[in-house]
Chain A
């Protein structure tokens, strides 16, 4: 199946989890300051390795950066 991770296409085996997709792009998704959303919905930390992806889903992996208005 094909998904996107942070806007980039990624080919994954059917049945892959969110955790596997993150690992594929080299990010530890349960690291401090990291969070994952699939199609805009946040995936709780505890469910990263049990949430199975389906074809066409959009995965966003975010982490803390310097910044904010002001």
Chain B
């Protein structure tokens, strides 16, 4: 069995289970080299007011690498703003896909569940493929799936915190209950966090800061690629149960009497 196995998201087949955000890179060159090293196929970008268009923009880099643009609603605090941003993104990129973020608090950047559900309902009704950034609350995840989201994307820990997966138990429950892909979104600090997400049964991992703010973003991108592949392979391979005491792997019979 091949270690790397694709997955379906939003009605399309993808080879890489790593989705990469574009925020925080120190240069366009770092961004381009890191995206290549990560092996990602889907890249997320934000929308902001522009006064002039720069020549080597983030979109030029993504297009040059032939990657899929996943616009996000970063910076939106209300359902109304998020829906409007999604519609702008649809026009800007000619895509129905939207990474829906509706933030409830500027210190934790945690999602606002009420606004998130409202926005998701409206966008699903409007024909969008909605990928919502959510908390690790299994009930909220179920609600998002039921209303027609193409995936659920629970956080591991707050955005940019690098604190990894704070509640593995909740994440396991989210994964167990979901019939759409679960993609861990936010909180990844290093490779083992990404591996853990995949071992817990996530279909993919979305991260940005862990790569973009690493001392060597290209090397970290490569590490994340391996980490996601390793975690996914380990999940499929079926790990041994965790025990408190030792379990000998060598038979006791046939031991020579050396006394």
A interface residues, Cβ below 8 angstroms from B:
6-7, 25-28, 31-37, 40, 42-45, 60-70
Contact = CB atoms under 8 A, between A and B. Distances in A.
Contacts, number: 128
Contacts of A25: 51
A64 B44 CA distance: 10
Interface stretch (B9-17, B204-212, B222-230, B246-254): B204-212
B101 to A, nearest CB: 5
B48 interface: yes
B41 interface: no
B88 A70 contact: no
A60 B22 CA distance: 23
B161 to A, nearest CB: 10
In order of increasing CB-CB distance, the 4 nearest A-B pairs are A67-B23, A35-B92, A67-B46, A68-B72
Contacts of A69: 21, 23, 72, 74, 101, 103, 109, 133, 159-160, 186
Contacts of A33: 45, 57, 59, 69, 92-93
Given A68-B22, A69-B159, A70-B159, A63 B91 contact: no
A15 B59 CA distance: 33
Contacts of A26: 51-52
Q: Classify the secondary structure of A's interface with B.
A: loop
Contacts of A63: 47-48, 50, 53, 57, 59, 92
Q: Classify the secondary structure of B's interface with A.
A: mixed
A33 B57 CA distance: 10
Tell me which of A26, A31, A62, A66 has the highest count of chain B C-beta atoms within 10 A of its own C-beta.
A66
B149 interface: no
B92 A66 contact: no
Given A25-B51, A42-B84, A69-B133, A34 B46 contact: no
Interface string B37-69: 000000011111111110001110001000001
Contact of A32 (B46, B63, B88): B63
B71 interface: yes
A70 B50 contact: no
Contacts of A34: 50, 53, 92
B58 A40 contact: no
A65 B45 contact: yes
A41 B25 CA distance: 32
Nearest to B54: A63
13 contacts: A27-B53, A31-B53, A32-B93, A35-B91, A35-B92, A42-B91, A63-B47, A63-B92, A64-B93, A66-B22, A67-B23, A69-B21, A70-B160
